[in-house]
Amino acid sequence: MTDAQELHEAAPSPLGSRRAGVLLHVTSLPGGDLGRSAYEFVDWLADAGASVWQLLPLVPVHEDEASPYNSLSAMAGNPLLISAELRREHGLGTLAELSAEQRSQHDAWCEQQAAWLEPYAEFTVLRELHDRAPWTTWEPGLRDREPAAVAEALAPHADRLDAVRLDQWVFDEQWRALTTYAAERGVLTFGDLPIFVAPDSADVWADRAMFRLDAEGRPTTVTGVPPDYFAADGQRWNNPHYDWEAMAADDFGWWRRRIARQRELFDLVRIDHFRGFEAAWHVPVDAPTARDGAWVEGPGHEVLAALVETAGEGTLVAEDLGVITPAVDELRTSAGLPGMKVLQFAFDGGRGNPYLPRFHGEDSVVYTGTHDNDTTLGWWSELDRNARRRVRRHLPAGEPMPWALVHLALTSTARLAVVPAQDLLSLGSEARMNTPGTATGNWGWRAEPGSFTPDLAARLRSVVEETDRLPGD
């Protein structure tokens, strides 16, 4: 067992006591990778009393968009996050450069992770050989992953396969070194698991029987959500739906492997679009928008039991935003998963709004906003006078935005309060991470060098301490 694994297993449940966290993806660090700015940010978090670092998925992204929610693999790490500087320093450029001890560690890791690593390596190289065309367009032998056809196509490309495997090991080594460093400073990591996977991914190509696909691998119905706060026509995500009967027949082994991998990487994992386990929105493949979909019941308690058993109690959080029914609430609470409370959604004037602070409760995670929201300053600038008046009734007197909302989040009864870094930096809409339903202009925000100053850490720490969220309080 590695030092990182020992520290990870020894760490207490992040939801066992009151904590404060910061949401910042690796690509939004000043360095944009797992290098020195990531370590500096961990130091800053520890100084600020923020004991949870929440991130977006660390998976490899498609070339035409940077969304970590539409990845080439649900199990692999994004090689673009590897720090080239640290890689050179540690002599991990090629297999030939590895010392005998490193090579032994590399080989052992590849063998341990082979169940997902080998399909991912095959998929990556075959996709490159096809100019990154979707796998459904490949010749039938490769499309259908016939062993003989795959072996013949990849035989001349052993070096490239080795390079793909090496990149994954280097990513894993750099991430584990960083999380070990974080654990030593009392900072826990909070990952994000999208419930669905991309159609053009190693996951679907390698496990077609787990998805609702036609004979050529195309989805028979696609994912999305009906019209909501974010999009008047709903959102059409275009992921394939799961074949839940096939998954149940395997005791949800696909999901068990997926959540186990996430728990190798993170102390706590958020399940994005949790409500899809109770029922998912099925959109006809030829429908022009997501409006034309329908809810189809999912496996609910069966799959949640498998996930909790594999991940461990107290390690999963449900993203339960959007259209939430009593059945979804019952599924979440029966599985012991806390839900999310987003303050930007709280002030529509309804006295029973579940995001109002008086409805939070300990078993929840409160946010000023998420990566899908505008920054708090951007949101505030769009509110009219009446809406601002409703918000101010709940805010500390005399404190300006966005720190007034930060303060409100940290005073919540929720055990974990998470604030996007953009709000701590008092940034406007120019720093928004993602606008749901739009295809361009997302995922690119990066903090300026020197943004996370000692003064800012001291300011946050004072509120964290005041609201009893320091580790050990």
Determine the Cα–Cα distance for residues 300 and 279; give it in Å rounded to an integer: 8
Residues labelled catalytic: 272, 319, 372
- Strands lying side by side in the sheet with 294-297: 235-240, 221-225, 279-284, 294-297
3-class secondary-structure state, position 452: coil
3-class secondary-structure state, position 416: strand
* Helix ranges, 81-216 (H): 84-89, 100-112, 114-129, 140-143, 147-154, 158-184, 202-206
| Contact (Cβ atoms closer than 8 angstroms) between residue 315 and residue 267 | yes
Structure tokens at 418: 């998470």
**Helix orientation angle between 301-311 and 326-334, rounded to the nearest 10 degrees:** 30
* DSSP code string of 223-240: EEE-S-SS-TT-EEEEEE
**Helix orientation angle between 36-48 and 158-184, rounded to the nearest 10 degrees:** 20
Please say whether the dihedral angle defined by the alpha carbons of residues 277, 278, 281 and 284, taken in this order, is positive or negative: positive
Other CB atoms within 10 Å distance of the CB of residue 185? 15
Bridge partners, 416 (sequence order): 19, 365
